[in-house]
Amino acid sequence: MASAAAGQADTFPKLLLRNARQRGGRTAFRHKDLGIWQSWTWAEVAEQVRAYAKGFEQLGLKRGEKVAIIGYNRPRLYWSMAAAQWLGAVPVPVYADSVADEMAYVLDHAGAVFACVQDQEQVDKVLSVAERLPALRHMLYDEPRGLRDYDHAKLHDIGEVIESGRTALRDPAVSAAHDHEMEQGQGSDLAIILYTSGTTGRPKGVMLSHFNVITAAEIGCAFDGLNETDEIIAYLPIAWVGDHVFSYAQAIIAGFCVNCPESPDTVVDDRREIGTTYAFAPPRVFETMLTLTMVRMEDAGPLMRKLFRYFLGVAKAHGEKILNGEPVPLGARLLYKLGDILIYAPLRNRFGLTNIKVGYTAGEAIGPELFRFYRSIGVNLKQLYGQTEAGVYITMQPDGEIKADTVGKPAPQVEIRIADNGEVLYRSPSIFRGYYKDEEKTAETMTADGYVRSGDAGFFDESGHLKIIDRAKDVGKLSSGELFPPKYIENKLKFYPNIKEAVAFGQGRDYATVALNIDLTAVGNWAERNNVVYASYQELAGHPLVYDMMAEHIDEVNRSLAAEPMMGGAQIRRFLILHKELDADDGELTRTQKVRRGFIAERYAPLVEALYNGATEADISTEVTFEDGRKGVISATVKIRDAKIYPVTAPVAARAAKEAA
């Protein structure tokens, strides 16, 4: 694929006009509203964006100024980005579920002068912190419901702004000047500021140019053969770099259709209706789909349960080999074909993955068994290792070389090297320009020769595939000097459908311990089937039989750790089940659902200490934030249990000693 940045179409507004010329009649966007899919062609989108940009200009938006984009996936919010870029302004997407304080930090730090929001909820959040946003001049909204009686002096309907711009562009001189303004944009211009999720502190604003994002999008499109016939569902946060590249940049580069669901709750059904060919999701989404399926199967009849388990065994034995094009005996192929008719195809349809050409999981490591399950039933699922600073792509998995325990080979145009301390460093044409207003942090992250420090520890296996162990700063040692990789342990535990989250502790301690969150859907269904009565998450989490269930999972994990080189010392000695679910609103998770381990260790210090002082229970009171913003306190007495530790086998121990040497 020829580089768009190398020719005249070196910005996204220019590429949008190219699509209007070359594929103007093809559907570019769909949005399901009140049960009906509405659609826009590339020609219609280009006209809307052009008029929208003029409306922006009439309100005073200037080149270089920042425009916050706040809400869930809606066509007009994506068009807000393109309209801002038309004038040389810079969109700054914000996580829609951010609480007002988080939102205020990003808008103030970016110096946003405009905010384009989805609805009344987002309007209210911005207005509640307006006094902390001195630069903010105007707010535009997509959905007018509930906003009629608001002060509209600085509050505008996006539809009216577009119509105002359309009216102004009827003047040929105004139209020509407006297009000339867009033509002044260059590939080197700042295209977007994407704020990191803030796993280790305040979010940082990652600056990416048009050239950076276009290059990243071209890499992905060429690698997976994406074209104008593909379909995707856009449902992940628009502030996440993955959604920005997949649902915005790649759609414009390849010309495929972006489908915005009616709501986050209808994603699977909407994906099934559309028949998407290209999908992406963090592991939690794939975990949830599988958990719900397993829960439903427990309620199925005996014959169906027996068929389901039998053919899953067939898939586990032969499915991945068939997907990879490897030799499989004819009898096994015929049996798998029967399983496809009876089980696998209905499963793919239920997940909305019937027409899937390629699916990606990213953001967190996915459990190997979960990964293999989807591939075994015919879903071409791949792992992607990337970062916001990379413009997404660092490694990718080529067809026929897909492993559950690696993240693939360096993506096209990406160079990777491993530092002496095991940290993964990378550079490519798509890496970021720096952190907004933070030259010191930029200098810490970039090496003198242009590599980015990923913060992740990893190594290449014998086939050239990269393995990520953990965050470099998080890979530590027990007091004995044995390796302690918390994320590695957590991912093993999260493979089990009834474990929603796991937080491992052990750095500098005598042994490893974990705090668990149960999955309320899976464990609740188990409780109903086993006549276990409970009135709340807290009561179910503390039930002795639930502790027995978790103990079995930890025992299996300890067995596997004992059989792995250099991991035997990281076996879990003690565990507890937290009395509440970890929540981003309480600061325990990032907005991309990553565990903030350090924060949790401080917040639950009495429980962590009890894990190491031999106590069998500990009292804890925790402040929580309810959906309406009110604060409350949850108090509990949390039980603590011991787990069995297994000896490391001699061959494994010898191999580990050899590798250490």
Backbone angles phi, psi at 196, to 5 degrees: -65, 165
For the segment 218-223, the average pLDDT, to the nearest whole number, is: 96
In percent, the amount of the chain with pLDDT more than 70 equals 95
pLDDT value of residue 482: 86
Q: 157: pLDDT confidence band, cut at 50, 70 and 90?
A: very high
1 residue type, one letter? M
For the segment 351-363, the average pLDDT, to the nearest whole number, is: 90
Q: Which of 207-211, 261-265, 486-490, 579-583 has the lowest mean pLDDT?
A: 486-490
Distances (CA, A) of 241 to 173, 211, 472, 598: 38, 15, 22, 24
pLDDT value of residue 628: 64
Say yes or no to pLDDT of 486 above 80.
yes
CA–CA separation, 79 vs 204, rounded Å?
Answer: 24
Say yes or no to pLDDT of 195 above 60.
yes
Say yes or no to pLDDT of 651 above 60.
no
- pLDDT: is 588 or 17 the higher one? 17
pLDDT value of residue 595: 84
For the segment 648-661, the average pLDDT, to the nearest whole number, is: 47
573 residue type, one letter? R
30-55 pLDDT tens trace: 999 999 999 999 999 999 999 999 99
Q: What's the topology of domain 474-660?
A: GMP Synthetase; Chain A, domain 3 (3.30.300)
pLDDT value of residue 656: 43
Q: 659: pLDDT confidence band, cut at 50, 70 and 90?
A: very low
Fold match, 4-276 / 474-660: no
Q: Is 50 exposed, middle or buried (0-12, 13-18, 19+ CB in 10 A)?
A: buried
Q: From the CA atom positions of the chain, what is the Rg in Å? A: 26
CA–CA separation, 28 vs 35, rounded Å?
Answer: 19
pLDDT value of residue 299: 80
pLDDT value of residue 359: 93
pLDDT value of residue 4: 40
> Exposed e or buried b for every residue in 486-504, given b needs 16+ CB within 10 A?
bbbbbbbbbbbbbbbbbbb
For the segment 399-407, the average pLDDT, to the nearest whole number, is: 87
Top CATH class, 4-276: alpha beta
pLDDT value of residue 200: 56
60-117 pLDDT tens trace: 999 999 999 999 999 999 999 999 999 999 999 999 988 888 899 999 999 999 999 9
416-475 pLDDT tens trace: 999 987 899 999 999 999 999 999 999 999 999 999 999 888 888 888 999 887 777 777
Place of tokens 């459990």: 367
Q: For the chain, give every domain's residue range.
A: 4-276, 282-383, 410-473, 474-660
pLDDT value of residue 113: 98
| Beta strands per DSSP E along 480-613 | 483-484, 499-505, 512-518, 572-577
For the beta sheet containing 572-577, the strands, ordered from the edge strand earlier in sequence to the opposite edge, are 499-505, 512-518, 572-577, 631-642, 617-625
Q: 597: pLDDT confidence band, cut at 50, 70 and 90?
A: confident
Token readout for 467 is 């393995």
Average pLDDT of the chain is 91
Closest of 623, 458, 587 to residue 200, by C-alpha: 587
- pLDDT: is 561 or 23 the higher one? 23
238-256 pLDDT tens trace: 999 999 999 999 999 999 9
pTM for the full model? 0.78
pLDDT value of residue 652: 42
The string of DSSP codes covering 187-242 is TTSEEEEEE---SSSS--EEEEEHHHHHHHHHHHHHHHT--TT-EEE--S-TTSHH
CA–CA separation, 281 vs 293, rounded Å?
Answer: 17
Top CATH class, 410-473: mainly beta
DSSP state of 247: I
| Number of alpha carbons in the 13 Å side-chain half-sphere of residue 131 | 1
